Amino acid sequence: MRCPYCGSLDSQVKDSRPTEDSAAIRRRRVCPDCGGRFTTFERVQLRDLTVVKRSGRKVAFERDKLQRSVEIALRKRPIEPERIERLINGIVRQLESSGEPEIASETIGELVMEGLRTLDAVAYVRYASVYRDFRDAHDFSELIGRLDSEEKAQAEADESRPLERSGA
């Protein structure tokens, strides 16, 4: 593993442990040349994915790019990092297990919006405004109106369910 500080190709692993959800291995490393310490993560990758952009251009899928876009939408929101990591892992797992080596960028965007919708409504609106290229305030109010009506329908459905009684 190349040292991010001096570029040396030699580094030593000082500590390894699984991450919170055991989806990756976190390794603390030290560079013997400059003494720099850094962390790396090792994850399972089922297959190499290619993203097909709207223009038709094809690029390699980058998990870090997905993570950055989700984190931007969630910036300054009270969401635990573990929940964000689970969301990203879930999206990547869905993409890898789809069986398709090429994934349309629209598919990734829809999966992110679906995940953010269940995680945080504000982050969902932020992401949707960029993803769907909102032009004016009407676009925002339309999306928020749909969210409100879906939340009301869900609340009504929850109220109409009979309460389960314990056999005590």
Q: pLDDT per residue over 73-83, tens digit each?
A: 999 999 998 89
Judge whether 122 lies within some domain.
yes
Judge whether 108 lies within some domain.
yes
Judge whether 5 lies within some domain.
no
Judge whether 157 lies within some domain.
no
For the cut 90, the answer to whether the pLDDT of residue 56 exceeds it is yes
Q: Are 23 and 85 in contact (CB under 8 A)?
A: yes
Number of domains in the chain: 1
Judge whether 111 lies within some domain.
yes
pLDDT band at 149 (very low <50, low <70, confident <90, very high): confident
Please tell me whether the overall predicted TM-score, pTM, comes out greater than 0.85 for this model. no
- Domain range holding 131? 62-152
Pairing mode, strands 58-60 and 50-52 = antiparallel
Q: Are 101 and 46 in contact (CB under 8 A)?
A: no
Judge whether 17 lies within some domain.
no
- Among 70-74, 152-156, 162-166, the range scoring the smallest mean pLDDT is 162-166
C-alpha 59/C-alpha 49 separation (Å) is: 9
Q: Are 6 and 33 in contact (CB under 8 A)?
A: yes
How big is the CA angle at 124 (ends 79 and 41), to the nearest 5 degrees?
A: 50
Convert the pLDDT of each residue in 85-120 to its tens digit: 899 989 998 998 888 899 999 999 999 999 999 999
Q: Please, what is the average pLDDT of the chain?
A: 87
Report how far apart the first and last C-alpha atoms of the chain are (Å, whole number): 59
Judge whether 67 lies within some domain.
yes
Q: Are 96 and 45 in contact (CB under 8 A)?
A: yes
